[in-house]
Structure 1
Amino acid sequence: MSDLKTTPRSPWKTAILAGMASYLDAAALVTSGIAIGGYYAAPLQLSAGTIGSLLGLQTLAFAAGALFGGRLGDRFGRRTIFTFSLMLYAVGVLLLLVAAGPALLYAGVVATGLAIGADLPVSLALANEEAPEGKKGTMVVFSGMLWLAGIVAVLGLSSFMGVQGILGGRILFAHLLVVAVLVLLLRLTLRESAEWAAARRAAQARTTADSEAIEFSRVRDLFRAPTLYALIATGLYYATWNLGANTLGQFGTYLWTSLAKGEVAQYSQLTLIGLPVGFLAGLVFMRVVDRPARHAWFAFGTALIVIAWALPALLGPGKFTLVAVMLVSGLGNSFAGESIYKVWSQELFPTLLRATAGGVTMAFTRGVAGLAALGTPAFALGHTRLFFGLLLGFTVVAAVVGMVWVPRLPKATHQPEEPADPSGAPEAETTGKAAL
C-alpha cells in the first residue's frame, strides 16, 4: 500500500482510459440508431413508435445515470463509480446483442443508458484532475477525439462488413461488448484521483473545524452563486446544441432512409467522409484549448454549426442537405458543442461538485433529448420543415449562450490539500478568470 503514494502517474494513460467513456457513449448512441432503427427493424417487426421509444428511453436512462453517477463520484470517488458503471454497460450491451424481441431491447437500452450516464461525468473529472496544469483542457478535449473514434468504428463496421439483417446489428453490439470488457480490465490498473482525495480530506478537516463552513461540496452549494449561474449556462448550452447532434446520432439513418430515400450503408459511407477532417480539426483544438485563441476557434465552430442546420431548414431535407449538415456541423463540433462543454464543465465547478454538476447538466441535456426522441420519427415525417426549423432555432440559442454568457462566468479555483484557514473559512470560492 505504501507504494501507491510514490507510483508515478501517467496523465495520458488516465486520459485514454477515462476518455473511453466518450468512445463507448458515442458508439452506443450510433450503434443503437443503426442497429435498432435499421438492421433490427424489419426482422423484429419494430414500428416507428417502438424505435422512437427505445432510443428515447436509452437517452432518458443516460440522464438518470448521469444525475446519480456524478453525485456518487463526488461522494465516493471516481474509480469506484466508473468501474461499476462499465460492468453494467457490458451487461446491457450483451442483452442488446442477444435480443430476439422488444423486451430484451428495452432492458438493454436502459442498462446501457444508465451505465454510460454514470460513467461519463466521473471519467471526465478524473481525466481533468490527473492532467498537469496548462494541459487540462487538452486532456478533456482528447476525450472528444475518442467520441469521434467511437463513431468512426461503428460506421466503418456498418459500411464495410457486408452483412444485412439482424446479424448486422448483432455484430455492431458485439464490438461494443469486446471494447467494454477490455477497457474495464485496463481501468482496474488506474488509481483514484489525487485531486479528489485531497479535496475530500480538506473538506473533512474544515467541517471538523467549523460545522457552518461553506465547503462547496454539498449538493445545496450547487444552487447558490456563483456555481448556480455556471450550472444554468452550461446546461442550457449543452441541451440546445445537443438536440441537433442527438438527432443526427440516433435518427440520422432513419431520416436518410425515410426522407431522402437512401440506403443504410450509403449513409454510413457518406458520414465517414467528414470524420478524418473532424479528427484533424480536433487535433488543432487540442493545441489551442488552453490558450486565449480558444475563443476565436469556438466562434468559428459555432458559425459552422448554425450554417449547417440552416441548410435543411431553408432548403428542405434532401440528400445534399442531409450530407451537408453532417459534414459542416461535424467540423464545427470539433471547436464547439460537446468538446467545449466538457471543458467548461471541468473549469467552472470546484472539485467536490465537479462530477455532480456535470451529471446534472448531462442529465438535463439527455432528458430533453430523450423526450424529443420519443416523437422524433413521427414529427420529422409529419411536420418536416417545422422539425428542421426548430433544430436551427435551438442551435442559435446555443450559439448565443456560448458566445455571450459563458465567457462572463468565473472559473473555480482548485481546492487545496489542507485548509489554509484553521477557522474553516471557505476555500472553494471562484476567481475572476473568464471561462473563455
Structure 2
Amino acid sequence: MSAPLSRNQRLDRLPVTRKHRRLLLGSGIGWALDAMDVGLISFIMAALTVHWGLSTTETSWLASIGFVGMALGATFGGLLADRFGRRQVFAVTLLVYGLATGASALAGGLAVLIVLRFIVGLGLGAELPVASTLVSEFAPRRIRGRMVVLLEAFWAVGWIAAAMIGAFVVTASDSGWRWALALGIIPTFYGLYVRRKLPESVRFLEQKGRHEEAEAVVVSFESQVPAHELARIDAAPKVATPREDFSESRSIWAQGLRRRTAALWTVWFCVNLAYYGAFIWIPSLLVADGFTLVRSFTFTLIITLAQLPGYAAAAWLIEVWGRRITLTTFLIGSAVSAMFFGTASSATMILLAGCLLSFFNLGAWGALYAIGPELYPSRIRGAGTGAAAGFGRLASIMMPLLVPPLLFLGGTDLLFGVFALAFALAAVATLALPEQRGKIIDD
C-alpha cells in the first residue's frame, strides 16, 4: 500500500485551478505596480533634467538611491518572509513603497526626493523575491517555471503603464511628474487586498507547525477540482521524478548549494547591471541625442511593448527547453541586441535595436525569476532568492552612477558594449546552474 501523499505532493499533482489563476493575478498585479514605480523614475529623471535643471550626476544619484533601498529590501525581505510568511511580507512591502511614492509627489527639492526614493526602494526590493517564491510554492510541478515567468510578465504591464504615464501625464505640464508619482499610492490600497485574499505558503505554515491552516489551504485548492478528476490523477501510474534533498541545509552556502548560489549571484549582478543601466537611462539618452521629451517617451513606450512577446516566448520555452538553456539563449540575445543598440545611428535602427533588447532582456528576467526559488529548500528559499536579488541590486546601484563617465569616455558604443559584456558573463554563469525542470524541490 502506497504512503499517503504529503501536502506538497497534493498541490504538485493538481491541474491549474481558478485559485491558481487568482493567486497568479493577485501577485501579478502587485508585481506590475512595482514595475510601474521603477519605470516611472526613468521618465521623472528626464523631466526633472528639463524642469529642475538637474545635472547627470544628480539624476544618477536619484536613480541609484532607489536601488540602494532595493538591495537592502531584497536581502532582508527574503529573511523576513522565511520568518513571518510570504503573504505578510508581500502586503507590508506594498504598503511601504506605495505611501513613500505618494509622498514623493510633494517633494520640494532633490534631497527630500532622494530620501523618499530610498524608502520606496526598501519596499520594492523586498516584494519581488517574496512574490516569486509564493507563486513557485503553489504552482503545479509540471508548469512551475511557466507560472513564475507569467508572474514576471506582469513587469512588462507595469513598465508599459509607466511609459504611458510618462508619455501622457509627465509631459502634460511642468508638474506632470508630481501627478505621475501621486498615482504610485495605489499599491497602498492593494496591499490590504493581498493581506486578506491571497493564501499563505503551505510549506511555510508546515515549518511553523501551523498544520491545520496548511491543511485548510490545500483542501481549498483541491476543492476546485472535481472528485472524479482527482481520483483519476491519483490512480494514474506514477513516474519516477528526480528529487533533490537539501532538507538539512541551513545555509545557502552549505555543501551542495554553494556552487549554485555563486552562479545565481553572478547572473543577478550582471543582469541588473545591464538592465538598469540601459532602461533607466534610455529616455534621458534619447533627450540628450536631440529628441524632444514627448518623442523620447513615445519611443520608450514602443520599445517597452516588446517586453510582452519576450515574456511569452520565455514562458513557453522554459518548460520545453528547460530553465538553463532558455536563460542562456535570452542572455546571448540580450548581449547581441545591446551591441546593436550602441551602434544604431537612425531613429528606425534605435527603435528596432531597442525592441530586440527589450524582447531578449525581459525574457531572460522571466527565466531568472523562475530558476531562483527552485534552487533551495523551503526553509531557506526566501533567504536564497532575496540574497541573490540583494547582491544583484549592488550592480543596479553602481551602474546609473557609471553611465555619465562611460558616456564621456566612449559614448553609447562603449556604454552598450559594457552592457553586452555583462549579459555575456551572465550567460556563462548560467551554465553552472542545475537544471530543475520537473524536479521535486521539497520532501
TM-score band, normalised by shorter chain: 0.7 to 0.9
- Output the TM-score relative to the length of structure 1: 0.82
Counterparts of residues 267-286 of structure 1 (less than 5 Å)? 267-286=296-315
Amino acid at match of 1:129: E
2:40 maps to 1:31: yes
Q: Which moved more, 1:14-23 or 1:45-54?
A: 14-23
Give the 3 Å change call, closer, same or farther, for CA 415–408 of structure 1 in structure 2: closer
Q: CA deviation at 1:112?
A: 0.8
Q: Distance in 2 between matches of 1:140 and 1:414?
A: 15
Q: Which moved more, 1:24-33 or 1:291-300?
A: 291-300
Q: CA deviation at 1:238?
A: 2.0
Give the 3 Å change call, closer, same or farther, for CA 261–278 of structure 1 in structure 2: same
Structure 1 residue aligned with 2:215: none
Structure 2 residue aligned with 1:394: 422
Structure 2 residue aligned with 1:256: 286
Amino acid at match of 2:188: V
Q: CA deviation at 1:320?
A: 5.0
Q: Distance in 2 between matches of 1:318 and 1:239?
A: 31
2:205 maps to 1:197: yes
2:202 maps to 1:172: no
Unaligned runs of 5+ in 2: 1-16, 212-245
Q: Aligned match of 2:68 in 34, 46, 60?
A: 60
2:316 maps to 1:287: yes
Structure 1 residue aligned with 2:377: 350
Structure 2 residue aligned with 1:153: 161
Structure 2 residue aligned with 1:327: 355
Counterparts of residues 18-417 of structure 1 (less than 5 Å)? 18-35=27-44, 37-161=45-169, 163-178=171-186, 180-188=187-195, 189-201=197-209, 215-216=247-248, 218=250, 221-258=251-288, 260-292=289-321, 297-313=326-342, 315=343, 319-320=347-348, 322-336=350-364, 338-384=365-411, 385-402=413-430, 404-407=431-434, 413-416=440-443
Q: Distance in 2 between matches of 1:378 and 1:9?
A: 51
Q: Distance in 2 between matches of 1:56 and 1:236?
A: 20
Q: Which moved more, 1:287-296 or 1:356-365?
A: 287-296
Give the 3 Å change call, closer, same or farther, for CA 329–162 of structure 1 in structure 2: closer
Q: CA deviation at 1:318?
A: 6.0
Give the 3 Å change call, closer, same or farther, for CA 317–359 of structure 1 in structure 2: farther
Q: Distance in 2 between matches of 1:92 and 1:102?
A: 15
Amino acid at match of 1:62: M
Aligned residues: 392
Q: CA deviation at 1:191?
A: 2.6
Q: CA deviation at 1:378?
A: 3.8
Secondary structure, aligned partner of 1:222? coil
Give the 3 Å change call, closer, same or farther, for CA 202–157 of structure 1 in structure 2: closer
Q: CA deviation at 1:275?
A: 4.3
Amino acid at match of 2:407: A
Amino acid at match of 1:301: F
Amino acid at match of 1:186: Y
Q: CA deviation at 1:412?
A: 7.4
Q: Distance in 1 between matches of 2:313 and 2:171?
A: 36
Give the 3 Å change call, closer, same or farther, for CA 304–77 of structure 1 in structure 2: same
Structure 2 residue aligned with 1:207: none
Give the 3 Å change call, closer, same or farther, for CA 116–225 of structure 1 in structure 2: same
% same residue: 21
Secondary structure, aligned partner of 1:285? helix
Q: Distance in 2 between matches of 1:18 and 1:312?
A: 33
Secondary structure, aligned partner of 1:10? helix
Q: CA deviation at 1:369?
A: 1.7
Q: Which moved more, 1:45-54 or 1:354-363?
A: 45-54
Asked if the contact 1:44–1:100 (Cα under 8 Å) also holds between the matched residues in 2, the reply is no
Asked if the contact 1:40–1:46 (Cα under 8 Å) also holds between the matched residues in 2, the reply is yes
Q: Distance in 2 between matches of 1:10 and 1:49?
A: 47
Asked if the contact 1:230–1:409 (Cα under 8 Å) also holds between the matched residues in 2, the reply is no
Q: Distance in 2 between matches of 1:223 and 1:412?
A: 21
